[in-house]
Structure 1
Amino acid sequence: MDTFESFRAELYDHNDLAFENIALTLFRFQASSNTIYKAYIDNLGVSVNQITSVNEIPFMPISFFKNHTIKTGTWNDAAIFTSSGTTGSTTSIHHIQDLDFYLNHAEQCFIKAFGELSDYHFLALLPSYLERSNSSLVAMLQHFIKKSASPYSGFYLHDKEKLLRDINTLKTDSRKTILWGVTFALLDLAEHEQPDLSNCLIFETGGMKGRRKEITRQELHKTLRNGLNANKIYSEYGMTELLSQAYSDGSERFYCNPWIRIIGREITDPFHKGILDQTSAINVVDLANVHSIAFIETEDLGKVYEDGSFEILGRMDNSDVRGCNLMVG
């Protein structure tokens, strides 16, 4: 019998060929043990036993996290993450069964892309996130800051002077420096301060939080490169409803770890999936979402490529501006 522990044990050991089998097994487990997902599948008239590929799996609309408690099985919350949203909007709630698992998994996602946390100083410029509770991003960065064991790692909130002083001090340090910021705060820094951050890796986490007009990712990265004297701008693709993160390599594309897969769906037909090389709506399979739901139909627009990489182009019409919102094309 499949258990939470068996799925988590397979998370880091499987290869690409095993992904399909693990995803299908997890689908059957969640289809029987997740009350909301089971009701959704039943309402669609889908026979679980007839699903033989990942593309055939019914993906649950991400909006369900706003109005339902999404849990596979019965357990007590170790934590609750909520999305940022906009003033007056309904936020998503992700119930977390094991906070340590989330933090250690987020660390594995980062290590897979960039190496050990102890190789970096983490300077976090996340004013909108720090000003509210229950942010998964803040929890992740707190973990990164602690594990880096750097006296300079920390949250800077609105103290740009100290931030720039510390960045200048770290120019001669053997460790690399990461400045991890919400988009509008990085733009403010680029436009008002125009510092030399050529010694930093700059990570933008997307979203204007209602502070500025949304712009394309290309525009954003060009402005940040020029205003911060940076060769590259890195991006993180993550959201309240996912336990995994994907990262860019400084280009416009994100690259997935082995436990996450992006699937394009037809914009006007959510059941037509597997779209490649053209604008599509984005579905996510996140095998780390063992305790909630691993198959999520997001409201993001993007392009998925044959090698598994993907771009995010914006948001679907009438969808909320959320924490993972990047730029609207």
Structure 2
Amino acid sequence: MIPIPDIFNISTQKQFEKIALKVFRFQHENNQVYQDFCNHLKVDSRKVKSLQQIPFLPIAFFKSHEVLSNSNPVQTIFTSSGTTGQITSKHLVTNLSIYEESYLKAFSQFYGDIENYVVLALLPSYLEREGSSLIYMVDDLIKKTNNPESGFYLHNYDALIQKLELLEKQGQNTILIGVTYALLNLLEIQKFKLKNTIIMETGGMKGKRKEIIREELHQQLSNGFGINAIHSEYGMTELLSQAYSLGNGVFECPNWMQILIRDTEDALTYVENGKTGGINVIDLANVNSCSFIATQDLGKLNSNKTFEVLGRFDNSDIRGCNLMVL
């Protein structure tokens, strides 16, 4: 078994690489789906000596396979959202305490003590279905604030407006985590001039509004809430860690998560910093599933290891589809 505490105590790149290679070997040995994928690529696990040599499992495997690295009982199954009839991803989680430690430590790394905040959540699309890992995290963050003012809002925008105005008057540090289209709906009812509130957008329009580019979206949100920067959370059903942007769409990972950018024409090679490509995620908290995931997001990596999300592949953009047929 991998010593979990090491993952959350990483402080150097050398440590990260050492533990990532250890996790790779563990998962190659214990995760049959991942091992089959590596074998399909003719990868000899004994010859993998760097992060760039580790195979990244296409995220679509979570729609068709049980991606597990141990035989422990499944504690919960996180599922992705999807339109009717769509196949959704299923992330089987055998140790929820790792997920809890991951999001609590990441929040602390970027925002400090959770008890310093009131957390408000405007996440209707997520609340209206079962199995959302985001709802699990935000619900726990709300409880951890130990503040009765924290809570969820579904479609009750008027109550949320009153709450935001009350907390502003009290000078209370507040975080409003909202799905993008619901934040825009809120601003159609009321504009704000917030001084003590962080707006964190997560997810897209969920089919409720026309998608717009990030710069335009953040400008609309900044103007509507009367603030300078919009924060964002980058996470997904198939991961147990999140990256955060404190503004300008530039994301930073917690110490146990890293991003690599693959070539869109050749999934097994990488592009230089600043070039656009497919986002590969190393999430060491995902030790009991797969820590090496090739997403369908497009992005670019900066020299300081921060990254930007620029969009998504459409189906015609995904190269090497023969890798998906295992």
Q: Normalized against structure 1, the TM-score is what?
A: 0.93
Task: Tell me whether 1:83 sits opposite 2:80 in the alignment.
Answer: yes
Q: Which amino acid aligns with 2:10?
A: H
Task: Tell me whether 1:213 sits opposite 2:210 in the alignment.
Answer: yes
Instruction: Give 1:62's match in structure 2, choosing from 41, 59, 62.
Output: 59
Question: In 2, are the aligned partners of 1:198 and 1:228 still within 8 Å (CA)?
Answer: no
Give me the whole-angstrom Cα distance separating, in 1, the residues matched to 2:6 and 2:233: 24
Give me the whole-angstrom Cα distance separating, in 2, the residues matched to 1:100 and 1:288: 10
Post-superposition CA distance 1:282-312 (Å, at most 9, x none): 0000010000000000000011011110000
Percent identical residues: 46
Q: Deviation above 4 Å: which 4+ runs of structure 1?
A: none
Instruction: Give 2:221's match in structure 1, choosing from 206, 221, 224.
Output: 224
Superposition map of 1:16-55 within 5 A: 16=12, 17-55=14-52
Give me the whole-angstrom Cα distance separating, in 2, the residues matched to 1:161 and 1:183: 18
Task: Tell me whether 1:241 sits opposite 2:245 in the alignment.
Answer: no
Superposition map of 1:97-176 within 5 A: 97-176=94-173
Task: Tell me whether 1:14 sits opposite 2:4 in the alignment.
Answer: no
**Residue number in structure 2 paired with 1:95:** 92
Instruction: Give 1:202's match in structure 2, choosing from 190, 199, 202.
Output: 199
Question: In 2, are the aligned partners of 1:77 and 1:97 still within 8 Å (CA)?
Answer: yes
Deviation at 1:238, TM superposition (A): 0.4
Task: Tell me whether 1:262 sits opposite 2:280 in the alignment.
Answer: no
Question: In 2, are the aligned partners of 1:164 and 1:195 still within 8 Å (CA)?
Answer: no
Give me the whole-angstrom Cα distance separating, in 1, the residues matched to 2:271 and 2:51: 10
Question: In 2, are the aligned partners of 1:178 and 1:203 still within 8 Å (CA)?
Answer: yes
Deviation at 1:131, TM superposition (A): 0.3
Post-superposition CA distance 1:209-246 (Å, at most 9, x none): 11111111101000111122122100000000110000
Moved more, 281-290 or 104-113: 104-113
Corresponding residue SS for 1:181:
strand
Deviation at 1:86, TM superposition (A): 2.6
Give me the whole-angstrom Cα distance separating, in 2, the residues matched to 1:45 and 1:299: 23
Deviation at 1:189, TM superposition (A): 1.3
Deviation at 1:264, TM superposition (A): 0.4
Structure 1 unmatched runs, 5+: 320-329
**Residue number in structure 1 paired with 2:282:** 285
Equivalences, count: 316
Task: Give the aligned CA root-mean-square deviation in angstroms.
Answer: 1.4
Moved more, 224-233 or 238-247: 224-233
Moved more, 194-203 or 163-172: 194-203
Give me the whole-angstrom Cα distance separating, in 2, the residues matched to 1:104 and 1:153: 21
Question: In 2, are the aligned partners of 1:283 and 1:298 still within 8 Å (CA)?
Answer: yes
Give me the whole-angstrom Cα distance separating, in 2, the residues matched to 1:175 and 1:229: 17
Post-superposition CA distance 1:49-84 (Å, at most 9, x none): 111100110100000000000000211111110011
Give me the whole-angstrom Cα distance separating, in 1, the residues matched to 2:305 and 2:59: 21
Deviation at 1:174, TM superposition (A): 4.9
Deviation at 1:106, TM superposition (A): 0.7
Deviation at 1:317, TM superposition (A): 1.3
Give me the whole-angstrom Cα distance separating, in 1, the residues matched to 2:68 and 2:80: 17
Question: In 2, are the aligned partners of 1:236 and 1:247 still within 8 Å (CA)?
Answer: yes
Question: In 1, are the aligned partners of 2:98 and 2:285 still within 8 Å (CA)?
Answer: no
Q: Which amino acid aligns with 1:292?
A: S
Give me the whole-angstrom Cα distance separating, in 2, the residues matched to 1:129 and 1:179: 15
Question: In 1, are the aligned partners of 2:271 and 2:277 still within 8 Å (CA)?
Answer: no
Q: Normalized against structure 2, the TM-score is what?
A: 0.94
Give me the whole-angstrom Cα distance separating, in 2, the residues matched to 1:41 and 1:193: 53
Moved more, 249-258 or 171-180: 171-180
Deviation at 1:175, TM superposition (A): 3.5
